[in-house]
Structure 1
Amino acid sequence: MVHKNTRPTVADIRLMKARGQKISMLYVTTLEEAAAADAAGIHMLSIEGRFFSPAMREAAGHCFVQVGLPFGSSGTVEGSRLVTAEDYLRAAFHFAAMGGDCFYCAASYDIQKVLCDNRVPIVAHVGLVPTHITWTGFRAVGKTASEALMIWRQVKQLESVGCFGAELEVVPDRVGEFISRNTSMIMLGMGAGPGADAQYLFAEDVLGHTEGHKPRHAKTYRNFAAEYARLQQERIAAFKEFVTDVDAGAYPAPHHNVAMQESEYVAFVEQVKL
């Protein structure tokens, strides 16, 4: 297991920004994806609380892990839902004990401030925010001066409450670069252009097995969908062969069975006395 002191810290991530070093980031959901990200040298991972566990932390290795705490979701702590600042604090401390390095929170500024005041590294969200989608629709945000100014003011407000960073999703590249250069926060760009501090993608997009809409900013490097489809056909074929073997009496074969001495079997039958 990777010792916590060998992993990047908030201070290290901030130093990367100060040096102008690009940060790679993936959203992952499985142990295999987390382990592959670590082996590949990915800097940051985003893992929702429902997927995060000590095993996931170990698989993530040297990666800096952002644990997602979506508003209203189950915090997995005593079955509570994340609504109040206390709920968020309880969940953050719970996941911090497992090795979470920072925490995603798109709740209100007052809740974010409570977390920050308790020295919890918080990543907020601006631009296209899926949990707030009713206010914008699924579209790029910030293409007009007024919308870009709205995002800028949100960033400065998040900065003032003490947030460590913010996801910057689907905004014009020039806006993404301007904001990243003019805030102390780490701006995790998802469709925000090359000027963002980090480039953030979902593993499912990178691996080519996205279900439903594939965003413009997604880039696919492998076709896992075809491989998964092939594996599913192989599963079906194997299961069919099993059914055929059972129907024909070919399974189980003698080498699958547990042997018993004839004398012991005879003694057993005699004692049963049917």
Structure 2
Amino acid sequence: MSVNKIIKRVTTTAIKEMKARGEKISMLTGYDYTMARALDEGGVDVILVGDSAANVVAGYETTLPITLDNMIYHAASVSRGTQRALVLADLPFGTYQGSTERAYDAAVRMMKEANVHAIKLEGGVEIIANIKQIIHAGIPVCGHLGLTPQSINQFGTFAVRAKEEAEAAKLKQDALALQEAGCFAIVLEKIPAALAKEVSESLQIPTIGIGAGSHCDGQVLVVNDMLGLTKDFKPKFLRQYLNLFEDISKATAQYVADVKSADYPNANEQY
């Protein structure tokens, strides 16, 4: 008689314990049920339902257009596809930068309607009051510093952030403030590796890097980029594990040829 294997869910506490024992944390983005099942089976620790869905799924130039309803739809799809991975979801632009009440309401909707385990917000001391209110309600929060894509119109570029002393000092101050507020982790995006190392070593909570070097406590990539689904996007920090764009294009071309030649379906592929 077979015995069903008990799968233990990764929690925010488990993530912090991984840092404490020196185990690196693996995170990938995911936007749908099918991809979530594959990532979960592959053993990834965290699936981030990123607002990058605006770019890689919907084709927008920035993450700004995606709505809270859109994000809840994607996050709920991912949640239904996981058994082990912690599901972390972005709150989109405009839902938390203003009033504490609005930020709280958006966070509660995400938790209740999408069944995620934690949320991620971009920014530092400017939104600390809102973060504290959300955490006070029992909702785990992951911070995000460095290149924060929701602020792209302010930055004006996707270049590396915090290369100058003043911005680096603010990032370090923000990281400590996020930890003090109760965040369980912080994503560091596109900052110098030396700065990421300093920040990671100064914190008790884990850092997750993307374009921030090897000294972060974990790493995250956009799954479409990692799998080579995103055509002509190859930043320095990206390691592409497959070239699915090319493979899918070739498979599609073969399918088209088989249909046109009446090779598909054959006698074994019909009822």
TM-score, length-scaled by structure 2: 0.77
Pairwise CA distance, 1:235:
4.9
Moved more, 147-156 or 167-176: 147-156
Pairwise CA distance, 1:121:
0.8
- Which residue of 2 is the match for residue 45 of structure 1? 47
1:68 to 2:80 alignment: no
- Which residue of 2 is the match for residue 131 of structure 1? 150
- Which residue of 2 is the match for residue 102 of structure 1? 118
- Which residue of 1 is the match for residue 200 of structure 2? 180
Question: Which amino acid in the other structure matches residue 35 of structure 1?
Answer: R
Pairwise CA distance, 1:181:
1.2
1:18 to 2:20 alignment: yes
- Which residue of 2 is the match for residue 58 of structure 1? 80
1: CA distance between counterparts of 2:258 and 2:97? 44
Percent identity between the aligned chains?
Answer: 26
- Which residue of 2 is the match for residue 89 of structure 1? 104
2: CA distance between counterparts of 1:125 and 1:13? 16
What is the correspondence of 1:124-273 to structure 2 with a 5 Å cutoff?
Answer: 124-136=143-155, 137-211=157-231, 213-237=233-257, 240=260
- Which residue of 2 is the match for residue 27 of structure 1? 29
1: CA distance between counterparts of 2:209 and 2:186? 9
Work out which of the residue numbers 130, 133, 142 in structure 2 matches 1:114.
133
1: CA distance between counterparts of 2:211 and 2:201? 17
1: CA distance between counterparts of 2:244 and 2:161? 31
- Which residue of 1 is the match for residue 266 of structure 2? none
Question: Which amino acid in the other structure matches residue 52 of structure 1?
Answer: A
Partners of 2:160 and 2:190 within 8 A in 1:
yes
RMSD: 2.9
Partners of 2:49 and 2:74 within 8 A in 1:
yes
1: CA distance between counterparts of 2:173 and 2:154? 17
User: What 5-or-longer segments of structure 2 have no aligned partner?
Assistant: 51-70, 263-269
Q: Indicate the structure (1 or 2) with the bigger Cα radius of gyration.
A: 1
Change (3 A) 1:234 1:86: farther
- Deviations for 1:146-190, whole angstroms, at most 9, x for unmatched residues? 222121011122223222222100111111111011112321111
Partners of 2:188 and 2:212 within 8 A in 1:
yes
2: CA distance between counterparts of 1:82 and 1:36? 34
Query: The residue matched to 2:74 in structure 1 has which SS?
Result: coil
Alignment length, in residue pairs?
Answer: 237
- Which residue of 1 is the match for residue 53 of structure 2? none
Moved more, 44-53 or 12-21: 44-53
Change (3 A) 1:233 1:119: same
Which 4+ runs in 1 deviate beyond 6 A? Answer: none
2: CA distance between counterparts of 1:138 and 1:173? 17
Moved more, 89-98 or 207-216: 89-98
- Deviations for 1:29-75, whole angstroms, at most 9, x for unmatched residues? 2222211111111111101434111x5223122001101111236xx
User: What 5-or-longer segments of structure 1 have no aligned partner?
Assistant: 74-80, 243-254, 257-274
2: CA distance between counterparts of 1:203 and 1:161? 30
